[in-house]
Amino acid sequence: MIETVTDYLVGLFTNTLPKELIIFLISLCPILELRGGMIAAKLLGIGVWKAFVICYLGNIIPIPFILLFIRRILRAMKKYKATEGLAARIEKISEKKSDKIMKYKRFGLLFFVAIPLPGTGGWTGSLAAAFLDLRMRDSFPLIALGVFIADLIMAAVSYGLFGFILG
């Protein structure tokens, strides 16, 4: 699914936006995150190390805002009929993911973010950390390191191991 959405977005914006901005914006998006950004970078012919930095920055920028503000945002969303269902769904997903993280404590958060599978990543890890009431100073470094590791894995997968190393 990530490949399909990424391919669609690359085709949609290739002639209107710079390649680097496309992968940055894809990396900012929940669900796609840097997994989609690295796939798009390869499709667009961007070098591995340039893509690595852009995708990392795109994925990490929303994290502090999620950690700091998501609970307030969800409370506000629950006040309106049009958004209360979405807020409840986000909370349910976050609570479900939080159980997996709590099993292994801090390493759980790190590994949850680091393994680039659907339903994991910086956004979901941040949501779970916020619902677990983890302090920003404790959770942000783990999430940032997890995003870095996920970026390494996705670079190796997207560009091939030798392309990644020789970059």
Q: What pLDDT digit, counting tens, does each position of 137-149 carry?
A: 999 999 999 999 9
Residue 167 lies in a domain: no
Split into its structural domains, the chain has a count of: 2
> What's the confidence (pLDDT) of residue 8?
73
> What's the confidence (pLDDT) of residue 76?
93
Give dist(CA 16, CA 62) in Å, integer: 24
The distance of Cα 37 from the centroid of its chain, to the nearest Å, equals: 10
| 104 and 147 co-located in one domain | yes
6 lies in which domain range? 2-60
- Inter-residue contact 36 to 8 (CB < 8 Å): no
CB within 8 A of 139, min separation 6: which ones?
67, 109, 125, 126, 129
Residue 159 lies in a domain: no
| 110 and 141 co-located in one domain | yes
Output the DSSP codes for 2-28: HHHHHHHHHHHHTTTS-HHHHHHHHHH
Residue 161 lies in a domain: no
Residue 28 lies in a domain: yes
Tokens representing residue 86 in the block: 């979405």
| Measured CA distances, 112 to 22, 105, 121, 133 (Å) | 26, 11, 7, 17
Through-space distance between the first and last CA atoms of the chain, rounded to whole angstroms: 27
Residue 163 lies in a domain: no
pTM: 0.84
> What's the confidence (pLDDT) of residue 28?
95
| 94 and 15 co-located in one domain | no
Helices 81-114 & 122-131 angle (0-180, nearest 10): 110
| 47 and 97 co-located in one domain | no
Tokens representing residue 105 in the block: 């404590």
> What's the confidence (pLDDT) of residue 31?
87
| 141 and 76 co-located in one domain | yes
Residue 158 lies in a domain: no
Residue 69 lies in a domain: yes
> What's the confidence (pLDDT) of residue 166?
60
**Residues of the chain where predicted confidence (pLDDT) is lower than 70:** 1-2, 162-167
Q: Which of 60, 81, 107 is the last residue of a domain?
A: 60
> What's the confidence (pLDDT) of residue 106?
76
CB within 8 A of 30, min separation 6: which ones?
123, 124
